[in-house]
Amino acid sequence: MCGIIGVSGTTDAARDVFVGLMNLQHRGQDGAGILTLAESGSELFNLQKGSGLIENVFSERSFKKGLKGKTALGHTRYATIGRQDPNLLQPFFDARSTIGIGHNGNIVNVYTLRDELAEAGLEFTPASESDSEVILKLLALELDGHEPSAPHMFKAIEASMHRLVGSYAVVGIDGTGGLFGFRDPDGIRPLVFGSRLNSEGLPVYALASESIALTYLGYTIENEIAPGEAIYIGADRKVSRQVLFQRSTSPCMFESVYFSRVESELETHSIYETRFQLGLVLAERIKELGIVADVVVPVPETSRSAAIAIAEALDLPFRESLIKNRYVNRTFILDGHAARQEAIRRKLSPIPSEIKGKRCLVIDDSIVRGTTAAQIIELMRQSGAKEVIMASTCPQIQFPCYYGIDFPSQDELVAYNCTDEEVAKKLGADRVVFQTIEGLRKALKKDTLCTGCLTGSYPTDITCGSDFQSQRLKDRTTLIRKS
C-alpha cells in the first residue's frame, strides 16, 4: 500500500505535492519521492527521494533549488516486496519515453512480465524487484517511440492493462508537461480526481490516492477515476478521459476498514460514516450473541468511530482507556514481527482506573496477525480487567492478499482455519467477535468488493502469484534474521 499524488497547472506544483504527501503519510513510511518536469537545464526531470518520513526527506532547499515547475508527482512508500531497498523508492522515470510514474498496488505477474520485457531489450535497475518499474517499462514499450499525448497514452495504457495482472492505481507525468493516471480494470486501488482555480482564475488539476490529500489543499473532488479508466491532462489544461478496459468494480474492503484516513471519502461515502456504520452493524451481532459488557474501549485510532457507534447502540459507556503515543507510527506496516511487537509496547498505554474490575468490550478495526490484539489483551489483564471481549469490525482474514496489503502467507493469519473460540484462546481473550461478510457489505453499502483475503475468491487470476508471494516471504525472513 502506498500514497500517490500528481499536480498540474500551478507554478509551484512540488509544494502542493509535498503537502499532499504529508496527508498520505499513513499509507507508507519507508520513504518518499517527488518528480518534477525541469524548467531548464540539460535534464528533463528533477527527482529527489529518500528513506524515512516525508518531512525528513524534503527541506525548504528542495523546493528552492531542484523541485520547480508546473507539473509534479509524489509517492510515499509502504513496502510489500523488496522491503527496505532505497532503489525501490518511487517515482521512477524513463528518459527515452519521457514519462515518470508512481504506483500503488501489486502486480501479481511481475516476474513473468519482467522476463518478457528484458527479452525485448528493456533494461531494469540492477537487482530491482519493483513491479512499478515493470509498469513504467511496459508503458514505454507500448508508446513505441510516440511523444506522449492523450491518444498515444491511452493506447499504451490499454495495451498495458491487458498484460498486467493485479492491482494498480498509477499517476504519471511526461516530458510535454502532461499529467496522467489510470486504475486497474477491477478498481481494487483508489484514485481520485480534483480541481481548483489558481490566482489567475485558471484550473489546476490533481490526482491522488485519497480525497484528504486534495481537499486539504483546497481542491474540489470531481470524482473517482473509474475501474479501467485513464485520464490525461495536457499542458494546455485540456482534460481527456476514457474507460479502456473495465472488468468489475471490486474496491479493496481494507481501504474503508483500516487504511484510508477517516477524513477521506471513497465513492462519495465518508470513511467516518462508513466506520460508524461498521460499528452499528457489529453492535447488532454483539446483541444477537448475548454478550454483556460494562464498557466499550476503542483501539486507537481507526476503530474510534466504530466504537462510539457500538457504545451508543448498546447503551454502554465509551472510555478511551488505551492512550496512543502519537509519535509512534502505524505498527501494521512495520517490517517484521519483532519490530511490530516493540512498536506496540511503545505505542499504547492503558489507564488502569478505567479498566480494573470491568468487563471490557475492546473494539479494533481488524485482527490480522493477532500481534496487536494479543498485547492489548495482556495490557488489559495487567490493568485488572474482569473480562476482555475483543470485537473486530472486519470479518476473519483467512487468505493472503495479492494486491498490496502485507499479509502474504495464511500461516501468519491468526484466524486462518480457526473458530472464533480458537482465535480467542490464541489471543488470550475471554471471547472474540468478528463482523460478518454480509455485515461488511451492508455497512460499506457495496454488493461488490475485493474480499479475497476473507473468502479466497479474488477478482483477478492469481495462479501466477506463487513466485510473487514467495519473494515477499523471503524479504520478510531476511528482515527478521537481521533484527
Q: Which residue has the higher pLDDT, 95 or 225?
A: 225
* Helix 150-161 / helix 131-143 crossing angle, nearest 10 deg: 130
| pLDDT tens digits for range 187-203 | 999 999 999 999 899 99
Confidence class for position 361, pLDDT limits 50, 70, 90: very high
> What is the predicted pLDDT for the residue at 429?
97
Q: Which residue is it, cell 475471554?
A: 430
Fold match, 3-250 / 274-458: no
| Under 8 Å between Cβ of 309 and 298 | no
Count Cα neighbours of 292 within 13 Å in the Cβ-side half-sphere: 1
Q: Is the pLDDT of residue 333 over 60?
A: no
28 grid coordinates: 507508507
Q: Let me know if 2 is a catalytic residue.
A: yes
Say if residue 81's pLDDT is above 70. no
Region 168-184: what's the mean pLDDT?
A: 97
Q: Residue 477: its pLDDT value, please?
A: 40
Beta-carbon contacts of 412 under 8 Å, excluding residues fewer than 6 positions away, are: 369
C-alpha cell belonging to residue 311: 457504545
Beta carbons of 324 and 299 less than 8 angstroms apart:
no
Inform me whether the pLDDT recorded for 322 exceeds 70. Answer: yes
DSSP secondary structure string, 310-350?
HHHHHT--B---EEE-TTS--STTSSSHHHHHHHHHHHEEE
What does the pLDDT read at residue 271?
97
Confidence of residue 476 (pLDDT cuts 50, 70, 90): very low
Question: Alpha-carbon torsion 33, 112, 141, 187, what sign?
Answer: negative
Q: Which helix (H) or strand (E) holds 35?
A: strand 31-37
Per-residue model confidence (pLDDT) at position 359: 98
Say if strands 192-197 and 359-364 run parallel, antiparallel, or are unpaired: unpaired
What span, in angstroms and rounded, lies between the C-alpha atoms of 152 and 242? 12
**Cβ burial, residue 353 (10 Å; 0-12/13-18/19+):** exposed
Determine phi and psi for 461, rounding to 5 degrees: -65, 135
- What distance in Å separates the CA atoms of residue 169 and residue 102, rounded to the nearest whole number? 8
- Confidence check: pLDDT of 11 > 70: yes
Q: Which residues pair with 103 in a beta bridge?
A: 170
Query: Per-residue confidence at 43, pLDDT binned at 50, 70, 90?
Result: confident
Q: Which candidate, 225, 247, 260, 183, places its Cα nearest to that of 458?
A: 247
What mean pLDDT do residues 22-34 have? 95
Q: What is the pLDDT of residue 483?
A: 32
At 82, the pLDDT band (50, 70, 90 cuts) reads low
482: confidence class by pLDDT, cuts 50, 70, 90: very low
Q: Are 264 and 249 in contact (CB under 8 A)?
A: no
Which pLDDT does position 123 carry in this prediction? 84
Distance from C-alpha of 27 to C-alpha of 3, rounded to nearest angstrom: 5
Domain ranges of the chain: 3-250, 274-458
The answer to whether 436 touches 285, Cβ cutoff 8 Å, is yes
- What is the rounded average pLDDT for all residues in the chain? 90
C-beta of residue 167 within 8 angstroms of C-beta of residue 252: yes
Least-confidence region, from 142-151, 287-296, 463-472: 463-472
Residue 49 has pLDDT above 60, yes or no: yes
- Mean pLDDT, residues 339-368 taken together: 85
Fold of 274-458: Rossmann fold (3.40.50)
Residue 477 three-state SS: helix
* Phi, psi dihedrals of residue 7, rounded to the nearest 5°: -135, 140
Alpha carbons 260 and 185: distance in angstroms, whole number: 21
CA dihedral 266, 268, 274, 276 (to 10 degrees): 130
* Burial group, residue 53, by CB count within 10 angstroms (0-12, 13-18, 19+): middle
3-state DSSP call for residue 466? Answer: helix
| pLDDT confidence of residue 378 | 94
pLDDT given for residue 380 in this prediction: 94
Across 155-183, average pLDDT: 97
Query: Tens digits of per-residue pLDDT, 114-149?
Result: 999 999 888 887 767 789 999 999 999 999 989 999
Give the whole-number percent of the chain exceeding pLDDT 70: 90
pTM of the model: 0.91
Q: What is the pLDDT of residue 481?
A: 36
Q: Which of 61-75, 202-216, 422-436 has the lowest mean pLDDT?
A: 61-75
CA distance 24 to 14: 15
From 2, 252, 394, 464, active-site residue: 2
What is the separation of C-alpha 136 from the centre of its chain, rounded to a whole number of angstroms?
20
Q: Is the peptide bond before 408 cis (omega within 30 degrees of 0)?
A: no
Q: Which CATH number fits domain 3-250: 3.60.20.10, 3.40.140.10, 3.90.550.10, 3.40.190.10?
A: 3.60.20.10
pLDDT tier at 65, thresholds 50, 70, 90: confident
Percent of the chain with pLDDT over 90: 77
